[in-house]
Structure 1
Amino acid sequence: MLATLALDPGRPVSYGDLAAELWSGRALGNARNALQAHAARLRKLLDEPALRAVPNGYVLDVSPGDVDATHFLDLAARGSTLVATDPRAAIDLLEAGLLLWRGPALLDAGDGLRCRAAAALFEERRLTLWEDLTTARLAIGDDAAAVADLGSLVTANPLREAFCDQLMLALYRCGRQGEALAVFHRTRAHLDDELGLQPSARLRRRYADILAQDPALTHRFAGAR
């Protein structure tokens, strides 16, 4: 219940929407009584009277900045806008966003549609944040840190070509050209096995540039090509 209300802080959520989220369409004798019992227990857990009853529902009366999920999205958006112009400031914001995570998004919030959709959104935004963070690190020449994080990111997301592209560039800049080319071949094989696809034009271009030892690969902001 707290997770559902926190997804939209300051806005009422109706009894019907809360019941549908908490019990996912399962029949319930008296949903309103069950919600009132949940609300009573929830108020005991909150440090302040943030949970308010409103006509036909409840509202979590807190600032959006008090909710980690909303704060994360704000940091991710602000950091993303600075990647191309001020990568060091972008890194500070994006790393602060990552520090808000404690595990998979909304892991124990149940199977309701709102929470599952929000969890998917947060997980996807975390991945795009990592892409932005890596681009910023490459822009300032912090290639070793990029390699350290990208290895696990590529392993966990082998079909996400942006990570593969960034790892190839970071490895090349660290003098590990052979490993950079090996990343391409593993990605190509995985795409073929899983989806019957070939690497994107972006990834093929990166591969060709590494083979040719294109001087542009060592320029600042080459990671944002």
Structure 2
Amino acid sequence: MTSQRASVVVTMLALSPGVPVTADQLVDELWADQPMANARNALQANVRRLRKLLQAVTGRDGAELLRTAGNGYLLDTPADSVDAQRFLELAAAGARLAGADPARAIDTLEAALDLWRGPALIDTCEGVRCRIQAAHLEERRITAYEDLTAAKLSVDAARVPVSELRQLADEHSGRERLSELLMLALYRDGRQAEALEVFHGARRRLAGDLGLEPGRALHHAYEAILRQDETLGEPRRVLARSAPALA
């Protein structure tokens, strides 16, 4: 089993596969709060430990997989073999597909989000660089969820899990797009009053926390729901009334 510090080393290298990470960067990530006179030796010991583990797991020569490169190290592995990199690729592809082919976007974005098993880099994010990368991955996760929800709304609003979307909007109250999507999902579900209340709740939170008004997109969604703009799609209750009666 790898030590905590060895895990940090492999995480740093895996976040940029094929790209050298200097020994100074690794040392700073590992011991920034407690400088060590023999930090380089300790880093080399962690690298040796990792090489043995990687060789046992992959069958490849550990020194070839975790290579010395100049004044540092690199992980010689394809980017798409690292979950974080694969997620970023799929999330970007899904975002590109969202407008032209929302059905394919849904499949792609669901595949991206299925790679998550919990908070990003949860066991290795004590250092500054890993914390920054973890925050970036979490940001992209929420963006991918927003893109997925928008694609589902354009294909079939019934596929949107409203309770899950509401919880996420509450947890990330500063992200107006989540509130906008929640408003649309509620409206399409025939819950216009709830959709309007989401706007008022977001407005109160933004004013209280940041002294701001909702942005243009959220205002536009609110006004469109007030006038039941046909561009929003018909609420489910309207569809139910227009359905032919059963014989």
TM over 0.5: yes
* Count of matched residue pairs: 219
Shift of 1:41: 1.7
- Kindly provide the amino acid, as one letter, of the partner of residue 45 in structure 2: A
Counterpart position of 2:129? 114
TM-superposition CA deviations, 1:67-90 (whole Å, max 9, x none): 111111000010100000010111
Task: Give the alignment's Cα RMSD to 1 decimal.
Answer: 1.5
**2:21 is the alignment partner of 1:6:** no
Deviation at 1:106, TM superposition (A): 1.2
Q: Which stretch has the larger CA shift, 180-189 or 148-157? A: 148-157
Specify the alignment match of 2:228 in structure 1.
213
Matches within 5 A, 1:5-154: 5-24=13-32, 26-46=34-54, 47-48=57-58, 49=62, 50-154=65-169
Deviations 1:162-221 (A, max 9, x none): 0101111110011011111111111111111111111112212211111111111107xx
> For the residues of structure 1 that align with 2:92 and 2:180, how far apart are their CA atoms?
22
- Give, in angstroms, the shift of residue 154 of structure 1: 0.7
Mark the CA change 1:177 to 1:144 in structure 2 (over 3 Å): closer, same or farther. farther
CA shift for structure 1 position 56 = 2.5
> Hey, what's the Cα distance between the residues in 2 that align with 1:86 and 1:76?
14
Give, as a single letter, the amino acid of the residue that structure 2 aligns with 1:34: A
TM-score after normalising by structure 1: 0.92
Could you say what secondary structure the match of 1:107 adopts? Answer: coil
Residues 90 and 109 in structure 2, CA contact (< 8 A), matched pair in contact too: yes
For 2:200, the equivalent position in structure 1 comes to 185
Higher mean alpha-carbon deviation, 63-72 vs 42-51, is at 42-51
Per-residue CA deviations over 1:101-145 (Å, capped at 9, x if unaligned) read: 111111221432221221111111111111111110011023452
The percent of aligned pairs where both chains have the same amino acid is: 50
- SS of equivalent residue, structure 1 residue 194: helix
Residues 154 and 110 of structure 1: is their aligned pair in 2 closer, same or farther, counting only changes over 3 Å? closer
Asked if 2 retains the 8 angstrom alpha-carbon contact of 1:13 and 1:57, the reply is yes
Partners of 1:212 and 1:78 in 2: CA distance? 35
Give the corresponding residue for 2:238.
Answer: none
CA deviation string 1:33-81 (max 9, x = no partner): 1011111221233223221223422211111111111111000010100
Aligned residue for 2:67, secondary structure, equals strand
Question: Deviation digits for residues 6-46 of structure 1, max 9, x if unmatched?
Answer: 11111222211111111125311212210111112212332
In the alignment, is the contact (CA less than 8 A) between 1:138 and 1:146 conserved in 2? no
Which portions of structure 1, spanning 4 or more consecutive aligned residues, are displaced by more than 4 angstroms? none
Say whether the 8 Å CA contact 2:153–2:159 is kept in structure 1. Answer: no
Task: Give the C-alpha shift of residue 146 in structure 1.
Answer: 4.4
- Structure 1 unaligned segments of length 5 or more: list them: 220-225
Distance in 1 (CA, whole Å) between partners of 2:32 and 2:105 is 39
Larger Rg computed on CA atoms: 2
Of structures 1 and 2, the one scoring higher in RCO (CA 8 A, sep 6+) is: 1
